[in-house]
Homo-oligomer: A and B are copies of this chain.
Amino acid sequence: MVRLHLAIDLQYQVGAPGADFIFNLQAAQTRQQFIVWEELLVSQAVPLASHTDPATHTRTLRLTALPGPLTVRYRATLDVTHHVADAASVMEVPVAMLPPEALIYLYPSRYCQSDCLTSQAMELFGGLPMGYGRVKAIQDWVQQQVAFESNTSNSMTSALDTLGSHEGVCRDFAHLMIAMCRALNIPARFTTAIDFGADPALGPTDFHAYVEAYIGHRWYIFDPSGTAIPMGFMRIGTGRDAADASFATIFGTVTSQAPLIDISAQTDLRNGWQYPVHRAEGLSTDAVFSWNLVNAR
């Protein structure tokens, strides 16, 4: 178990006549991620509407802000329980055995045009043994292909763009890896977290995007940009790609400051709280079950 402390501060200046905000900002409450403590403060006294997606547990917060300054302050303490598996034991799941909830993550999405990458994926990875190792090989290949460069991509940059430009940020690494997985019929999805353990030379602590691949009947975590420590990720938003899990979607004229973010891990072996480290094993914090077992006779 890992105990994480998170602080996010967002600052906006809202222009007339006001603006609508849709945030996917709060930590997800799941069976493997327990929210011990949490606080959300919004500087304007406006109604807050919340919604939790039953399938992904992504929490959406919507508000309509008045003109003027708006700050959103979020604090949380979380206990994350990792499923740890010997990578060699994690098999790919044949399409015939996938749970229905995983099927949508086989299909192409806005930033992960897997349908355009089928031949390339087969050429590069079709000959590898199926399993965790093949997904890891895709991750390594993405890391070799793409250089981490801030401000080289924008909200319209897709996996195909990144494949051409060979540069991007975590979001772009994730999109390319997801597209390659799906092109091989491996369900893959986009998850947001904070970049725990990132090299300070890369800049201040920020929102991070990582990949989950459905193998071994669980969602295993991959960090294709390689900039952070996966054991220190806590789940915020989960979806098909960045279109589903943006931390803030804004409708209106708003100027934003860079988010101020801090994340730390608390160690206490007596309580079972480990410090997040890089691990060679497969890590997972989510599973779905259903179809795969029912036709057994």
Chain A residues packing against B (C-beta within 8 Å)? 1, 20, 22, 29-32, 34-41, 45, 47-54, 60, 62, 64, 77, 79, 81-84, 94-96, 100, 103-104, 106-110, 112-113, 115-116, 155-156, 185, 243-244, 249, 251, 270-272, 287, 289-291, 293-297
Contacts and interface: CB of A to CB of B under 8 A. Distances in A.
A51 B291 contact: yes
B297 A82 contact: yes
30 contacts: A20-B94, A29-B50, A29-B52, A31-B290, A31-B295, A32-B294, A35-B40, A36-B40, A36-B41, A37-B38, A37-B39, A38-B38, A39-B77, A45-B270, A45-B271, A47-B295, A49-B295, A60-B103, A62-B291, A82-B297, A83-B296, A83-B297, A107-B110, A107-B243, A108-B110, A109-B243, A110-B112, A115-B155, A289-B289, A289-B290
A54 B54 contact: yes
A104 B22 CA distance: 11
Most chain-B CB neighbours within 10 Å: which of A84, A112, A115?
A115
A76 to B, nearest CB: 9
**Chain copies in complex:** 4
